[in-house]
């Protein structure tokens, strides 16, 4: 009979990298991919796409065909 395994709260593995924006050393919870920009927390927030208001409607120029 095994005594319940203890599940320690393991800290997430962090990877040290350099922010592509401010050049600061930072740690990210994922493995940085080569060739892809990595941002620190601050810059990441800045780079997050802003919430779109409204939305909907696949607008765009639509050529209207007129039959006559």
Which CB atom, from 21 or from 28, has the smaller least distance to Zn ion?
A: 21
Which CB atom, from 17 or from 21, has the smaller least distance to Zn ion?
A: 21
- Minimum CB distance to Zn ion, residue 15 (Å): 15
Which CB atom, from 31 or from 46, has the smaller least distance to Zn ion?
A: 46
- The distance of Cα 33 from the centroid of its chain, to the nearest Å, equals 13
Q: Are 37 and 26 in contact (CB under 8 A)?
A: no
| Angle (CA) 26 51 60, round 5° | 125
Binding site for Zn ion (CB under 5 A): 19, 21-22, 40, 43
């Amino acid at each position: 009979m095994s005594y319940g395994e203890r599940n320690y709260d393991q800290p997430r593995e962090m990877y040290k990298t350099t922010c592509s924006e401010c050049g600061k050393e930072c740690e990210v919870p994922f493995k940085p991919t080569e060739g892809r920009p990595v941002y620190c927390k601050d810059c990441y927030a800045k780079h997050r796409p802003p919430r779109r208001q409204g939305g909907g409607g696949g607008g765009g120029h639509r050529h209207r065909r007129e039959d006559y």
